[in-house]
């Protein structure tokens, strides 16, 4: 008899463990992370200008996103420090070596692609790096023991042109729609080149193009049957540009606020919406750990942190438990009716993601709204009707 109990216990234990693993995996709705790096835009010409004169599309899209107004490059404000810093989650000078017969520069620490492929067992086409083809001058991920080339991303490198932003966008469209990568990094370089030209009109034109292309990337994602409502997009810069007191927009590279202050635009199913944050201070090196938090991979050698302030507050509730006492019964209907008539208290539970309160436990029919139809649905449930549902945007216990 004891042996029978053991045999019953083992599959029961496995079933419980599987359920726990499934619950952990579903902690976030994000299944894809896309990082867009717009090179060398000064914050005063991007989302720092709330009128949106230079970034009208991202400014409008911010209604559905969270904008971090206190994000910075905390290291040397040049591209060769900033971009690898976003990959590695830490700032470190690139290293020289010879690889496949070429003199190259590589990241000293593992990159977020390597972490993701290592922990999630991703094939190479699920980890993508889109950048112009700089040949052997293309900066490489790491050779760090336990990570390295076996976990590098797939490089998608269109030929260098007079319009690198557009050709990178065109490549990104193809890859996103065909491969639905789990982690993607899309590099738009032309804003920095135009800034260095010293021609203000050219610099602004490239910002507006990058703004338009980034917005269109989000439209592509949201119109894709695999990636829609399951993708987080982070938009940032490797560095800014000198403020007017330190040389103006033509250059960058020192510690002035213009060079350090960068954009941090975050949109996705697990983030706040319509919110601007002024604290805590964020860094571009925080991207690796934040992506890992969403997707379930670790970044143990990153010096960054999870930008938890971007995340929507958790929704810990029981569907149909309108009065919040931990049970679903007829008393919830009475409580609900009194609230809707304006003679009772509002439900104690809500999910506030930046656009007002949504009493999610009262959404009994799962249509993501709360009204009298939910009362009728609950009454029907107690009479033997269909099970109480929940809004799919707010899974219980997330």
CATH code of the domain containing 247: 3.40.720.10
Residue 161 reports pLDDT greater than 80: yes
Confidence of residue 15 (pLDDT cuts 50, 70, 90): very low
User: Looking at the structure, do residues 90 and 214 belong to the same domain, yes or no?
Assistant: yes
Residue 8 reports pLDDT greater than 50: no
State the pLDDT at residue 368. Answer: 86
Q: Is residue 85 part of a domain?
A: yes
User: Looking at the structure, do residues 353 and 270 belong to the same domain, yes or no?
Assistant: no
Place of tokens 């029907």: 380
Q: Is residue 73 part of a domain?
A: yes
Residue 312 reports pLDDT greater than 90: no
State the pLDDT at residue 24. Answer: 37
Contact at 8 Å (CB) between 247 and 258? no
Confidence of residue 397 (pLDDT cuts 50, 70, 90): low
Confidence of residue 256 (pLDDT cuts 50, 70, 90): very high
Q: Is residue 374 part of a domain?
A: yes
Which of the listed residues 244, 275, 310 is the one where a domain comes to its end?
Answer: 310
State the pLDDT at residue 13. Answer: 38
State the pLDDT at residue 195. Answer: 98
Residue 65 reports pLDDT greater than 90: yes
Confidence of residue 56 (pLDDT cuts 50, 70, 90): very high
State the pLDDT at residue 20. Answer: 37
Q: Is residue 289 part of a domain?
A: yes
User: Looking at the structure, do residues 283 and 173 belong to the same domain, yes or no?
Assistant: yes
User: Looking at the structure, do residues 52 and 196 belong to the same domain, yes or no?
Assistant: yes
Q: Is residue 264 part of a domain?
A: yes
**Average pLDDT of the chain to the nearest whole number:** 91
- State the residue range of the domain holding 64: 25-310
Confidence of residue 396 (pLDDT cuts 50, 70, 90): confident
User: Looking at the structure, do residues 379 and 267 belong to the same domain, yes or no?
Assistant: no
Q: Is residue 197 part of a domain?
A: yes
User: Looking at the structure, do residues 137 and 170 belong to the same domain, yes or no?
Assistant: yes
Q: Percent of the chain having pLDDT more than 70? A: 91
Alpha helices in the chain (DSSP H): 2-25, 56-61, 79-88, 112-120, 164-179, 190-197, 200-222, 257-260, 287-295, 330-340, 372-382
Average pLDDT, stretch 2-14?
Answer: 40
Lateral strand order in the sheet of 66-68: 154-156, 127-130, 183-188, 32-38, 231-236, 264-267, 66-68, 275-277
Q: Is residue 367 part of a domain?
A: yes
User: Looking at the structure, do residues 240 and 376 belong to the same domain, yes or no?
Assistant: no
Confidence of residue 100 (pLDDT cuts 50, 70, 90): very high
Average pLDDT, stretch 88-105?
Answer: 97
Strand partners, 104: 97
> What angle in degrees, to the nearest 10, is found between the helix axes of 112-120 and 287-295?
20
pLDDT, greater one: 137 or 395: 137
User: Looking at the structure, do residues 205 and 343 belong to the same domain, yes or no?
Assistant: no
pLDDT, greater one: 196 or 368: 196
pLDDT, greater one: 326 or 265: 265
Q: Is residue 59 part of a domain?
A: yes
Place of tokens 């490239």: 206
* Number of domains within the chain: 2
Which of the listed residues 261, 276, 310 is the one where a domain comes to its end?
Answer: 310
Which helix or strand (DSSP H or E) is residue 143 part of? none
Average pLDDT, stretch 66-88?
Answer: 98
Average pLDDT, stretch 131-136?
Answer: 97
State the pLDDT at residue 356. Answer: 60
Confidence of residue 2 (pLDDT cuts 50, 70, 90): very low
State the pLDDT at residue 353. Answer: 52
Average pLDDT, stretch 245-261?
Answer: 97
Average pLDDT, stretch 304-320?
Answer: 89
User: Looking at the structure, do residues 47 and 163 belong to the same domain, yes or no?
Assistant: yes
Which of the listed residues 310, 333, 355 is the one where a domain comes to its end?
Answer: 310
User: Looking at the structure, do residues 166 and 40 belong to the same domain, yes or no?
Assistant: yes
Average pLDDT, stretch 151-176?
Answer: 98
Contact at 8 Å (CB) between 279 and 70? yes
User: Looking at the structure, do residues 302 and 328 belong to the same domain, yes or no?
Assistant: no
CATH number of the domain where residue 372 is located: 1.10.1330.10
State the pLDDT at residue 314. Answer: 72
User: Looking at the structure, do residues 348 and 334 belong to the same domain, yes or no?
Assistant: yes
């Amino acid at each position: 008899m004891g042996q029978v109990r053991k045999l019953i216990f083992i599959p029961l234990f496995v079933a419980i463990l599987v359920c726990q693993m499934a619950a952990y995996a579903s902690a976030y709705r994000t299944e894809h992370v896309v990082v867009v790096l717009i090179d060398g835009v000064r914050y005063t010409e991007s989302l720092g200008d709330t009128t949106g004169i230079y970034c009208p599309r991202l400014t409008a899209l911010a209604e559905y996103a969270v904008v971090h107004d206190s994000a910075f490059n905390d290291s040397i404000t040049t591209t060769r420090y900033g971009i690898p810093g976003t990959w590695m989650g830490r700032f470190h000078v690139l290293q020289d070596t010879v690889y496949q017969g070429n003199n190259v520069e590589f990241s000293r620490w593992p990159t977020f692609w390597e972490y993701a492929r290592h922990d999630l067992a991703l094939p190479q086409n699920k980890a993508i790096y889109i950048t112009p083809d700089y040949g052997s001058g293309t900066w490489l991920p790491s050779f760090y023991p336990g990570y390295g080339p076996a976990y590098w991303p797939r490089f998608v490198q269109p030929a260098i042109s007079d319009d690198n932003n557009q050709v990178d966008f065109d490549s990104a469209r193809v890859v996103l729609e065909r491969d639905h990568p789990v982690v993607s990094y899309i590099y738009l370089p032309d804003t920095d080149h135009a800034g260095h030209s010293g021609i203000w009109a050219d610099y602004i034109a490239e910002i507006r193009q990058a703004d338009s292309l980034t917005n269109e990337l989000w439209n592509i994602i949201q119109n894709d049957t695999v990636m829609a409502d399951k993708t987080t997009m982070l938009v940032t810069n490797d560095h800014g540009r000198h403020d007017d007191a330190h040389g103006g927009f033509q250059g960058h590279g020192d510690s002035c606020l213009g060079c350090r202050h960068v954009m941090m635009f975050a949109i996705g199913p697990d983030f706040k919406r319509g919110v601007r944050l002024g604290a805590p201070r964020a860094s571009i090196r925080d991207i690796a750990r934040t992506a890992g938090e969403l997707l379930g991979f670790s970044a143990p050698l990153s010096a960054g942190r999870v930008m938890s302030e971007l995340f929507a507050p958790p929704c810990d509730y029981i569907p149909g438990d309108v009065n919040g006492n931990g049970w679903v019964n007829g008393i919830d209907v009475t409580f609900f009716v009194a609230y809707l008539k304006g003679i009772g208290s509002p439900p104690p539970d809500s999910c506030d993601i930046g656009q007002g309160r949504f009493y999610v436990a009262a959404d009994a029919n799962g249509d993501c709204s709360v009204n009298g139809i939910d009362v009728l649905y609950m009454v029907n449930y107690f009479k033997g009707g269909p099970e109480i549902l929940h809004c799919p945007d707010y899974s219980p216990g997330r």
